[in-house]
Each structure stands twice: as structure tokens, then as C-alpha cells.
Amino acid sequence: MQTHIPNKVLTTALNLFTTKGYFSTSMRDITADSAVSTGSVYHYFKDKEGVATALYRSMIERMRVALLHIVSTHDTSHDQCHAVISLLFKIAEEEPEVMSFMLYTKHREFLPAEPPVCSSEPFEIMRSMVQSGMDKGEIEQRDVLVASTCLYGGAIKMITSHLDGILDQPLSSYLDDIWACSWRAVASSKS
């Protein structure tokens, strides 16, 4: 049972946005499901877009912290990137709404002011892991965007498949297989 009103609103909004979509959830839906009155919602948030922005920012921030923690607790790019994909899979399974809103939602459509997810700080941290892997010779030299896209692309596609419900097995059971493919795509030949 949550008591803090902004959190109640954000949690409700997250659920509604990911199940019905941003445009198909009305402020009335949010007030009804969260049991918070219209007045209160507008007291804490400027408008509907403000709710979505707050949600988006809080998730970006959460990811940023988690990724920086991974960087500081793993030595090789190999281990860092593996930890990233493990983390993404874990969140996708335990909190699919969070992953869904972060990866699978076209924020541009209702958050025109925010930069695209791929330009966000978390994705930049992920790319910097790849870059340092290339500097150290773990990862073959090539355009860092290409390498990152190939390394993470498969895993992310797998997550969206999971969110779409087209996977037979639990997502985590694919982790080793996906990682083997993804790493092989970019690893330098000497490793």
C-alpha cells in the first residue's frame, strides 16, 4: 500500500501506459486507478506529459546508476557487457512494465522534448564499455556504434520479443545462447 501520492500516480501511470498505451490512457483512468483526485495529480504534475516525463526521467536515472555500478565492479568489457545484458534480462522478467516503457515505447510521440532513448546517458555508458573494449583489444576495431548495435542489438530484440509474448521459454533461459552469439559478433579474433 503506497501512501506517497506522486509515487502512486507514477506507478499507476506506468502500468496504464504500458498496457493501454499513452494516448489511450486518459487522466481519468489515472485518477481512478490510483485513487488520487484530479486536483492532486495536477498539484504534483504540470500536465499529462509531465507525468510521462517524470516517469521517463526516473527510469533513465535508475538505469544510469545501475550501469555505473556495473562499470565500477567489473574489469573487462566482456564482463561489463555481459552484466549489462543480464541486468536488462532480469528487469525485463521481474518488471516487464519498466522495460516496456523504457525500450518499447515511442517516447518521441508524446515526449518530443526528450532525446531518443538511444542518445540517452545509459546508452552512452553502454557504448563507452564497448569503446574501452576496443581500446584494450578485447573487441575488434570498428565504428563504435556498429559494434554496440551488434553486441546489444540481439539481446534487446530478444527482450522485445519477450515483452510481445512470443517466446516459449522464460527469457533468462536464452541468456547464455544470446550472449555467445553477441560476443562472438564483436570479439577480437585473438580472444
What does 146 interact with, of a second copy, DNA, none (CB < 5 to 8 A by kind)? Answer: a second copy
For the chain, helix (H) and strand (E) counts, in that order, are: 10, 0
What does 153 interact with, of DNA, a second copy, none (CB < 5 to 8 A by kind)? Answer: a second copy
Which of 83, 159 has the CB closer to a second copy? 159
Which residues, numbered 70-99, are part of the site for a second copy (CB under 8 A)?
none
What does 154 interact with, of a second copy, DNA, none (CB < 5 to 8 A by kind)? Answer: a second copy
Q: Of the ranges 33-41, 54-62, 71-79, 179-187, which one interacts with a second copy (CB under 8 A)?
A: 179-187
Q: Give the number of other Cβ atoms within 10 Å of residue 94's Cβ.
A: 9
What does 149 interact with, of a second copy, DNA, none (CB < 5 to 8 A by kind)? Answer: a second copy
Q: Give the number of other Cβ atoms within 10 Å of residue 57's Cβ.
A: 13
Q: Which of 189, 190, 175 is nearest to 81 (CA)?
A: 175
The answer to whether the CB of 82 falls within 8 A of the CB of 129 is no
Which residues, numbered 143-172, are part of the site for a second copy (CB under 8 A)?
143, 145-147, 149-150, 152-158, 160-161, 164, 166-167
d(CA 101, CA 181): 26
